[in-house]
Structure 1
Amino acid sequence: MKKNGILNRELSYLIASMGHGDILSIVDSGFPISEDVFCVDLSLIAGKPKIVEIIIPLLEELEIEKVLIAEEIKMISPKYHQKLLSIFPKNVQIEYIPHEKFKDRVRESKGVVRTGEQTSYSSVILVGGVTYHGEKEEGL
């Protein structure tokens, strides 16, 4: 039995399968998800779990280099937008794109995590990073 970290089998598998540049989307409860994209449905009830509640433990296990957010969030859900920004490390690039383009990018995901979130334009796309940089010669 796994003792710590993310316990959900499908989500743990999805995180372990992520590579550099792979896309993992964390979406709200009403977001359209293509049937040909692997989906981990964590939605329980309206509003639970929230996207932020999923992202925080994800960041403990997944290296990301970029976050994509629908640009509409700035006007429609500004408080939520600020909360989202506060949870990402400072070295992670934040990119805003129109919601229609955002939906297209989600279709390119290695996987999608559906939450119970019900905040407008709250979905995010995480782009996998790497945990190493530059040359490493140990063990040669």
Structure 2
Amino acid sequence: MRHSGIVHAQLAHQIGLLGHTDRVVVADMGLPLPRHVPLIDLALVTGTVPFAAVLDALLDEIVVQGHVIASEALEGVAGTWFDERADRLGLRTTLDHESFKQRLPQVAFAVRTGEATPYANVILECGVPF
């Protein structure tokens, strides 16, 4: 049994399968996710599990070379979360929310949180540790 880091079995397994340039989406509870994308659903009730906690846990586990967010996120609380982690998120790409959703079918897996903050969604692109 792991004593630190991500201990959620499904999530740890999916992380272990990631390679360079694979993408992962961390989503609020309302983002429509494609049915074919593997889903790690951490949403229990509104607000639990929070987006920022999941994002931080993932950033502790994977190398990120870039991220994609909706431009609408920049105007709210979610934008602050991304700015606070800019040094760990790599190159930023911003798209309108509809264009962001069009990229979802290409992610390796999705993590749904219980977050109810508008536009608290990010696609992380994996890098390499060298």
Place the TM-score, normalised by the shorter chain, in its bin: over 0.9
Which letter does structure 1 place at the counterpart of 2:5? G
Native 8 Å contact 2:40 2:111 kept in 1: yes
Provide the rounded CA distance (Å) in 1 between the counterparts of 2:37 and 2:10: 13
Give the SS at the match of 2:52: helix
SS in 2 for 1:14: helix
Q: CA deviation at 1:52?
A: 0.8
Contact preservation (8 Å) 1:27, 1:112:
yes
- The aligned counterpart of 1:105 is 103
How far apart are the structure 2 equivalents of 1:49 and 1:101?
26
Give distance in 2, aligned partners of 1:55 and 1:74: 17
- Show structure 2 runs of 5+ residues with no match: none
User: Whose helix fraction is larger, Structure 1's or Structure 2's?
Assistant: 2
Distance in 1 between residues matched to 2:18 and 2:43, nearest whole Å: 22
Aligned partner of 1:81 in structure 2 is: 79
TM score, norm. by length of structure 2: 0.94
The one-letter amino acid paired with 2:111 is: V
Stretches of 4+ aligned residues off by more than 6 angstroms: none
**Residues 40-61 of structure 1: CA distance to partner in whole angstroms, max 9, x if unpaired?**
0000110111111101111111
Q: Name stretches of at least 5 consecutive residues in structure 1 with no aligned partner.
A: 133-140
Identical residues among aligned pairs (%): 30
Deviates more, 1:59-68 or 1:80-89: 80-89
Aligned partners of 1:86, 1:29: CA distance in 2, in Å?
A: 22
Structure 1 residue aligned with 2:114? 116
The alignment partner of 2:40 has SS state of: strand
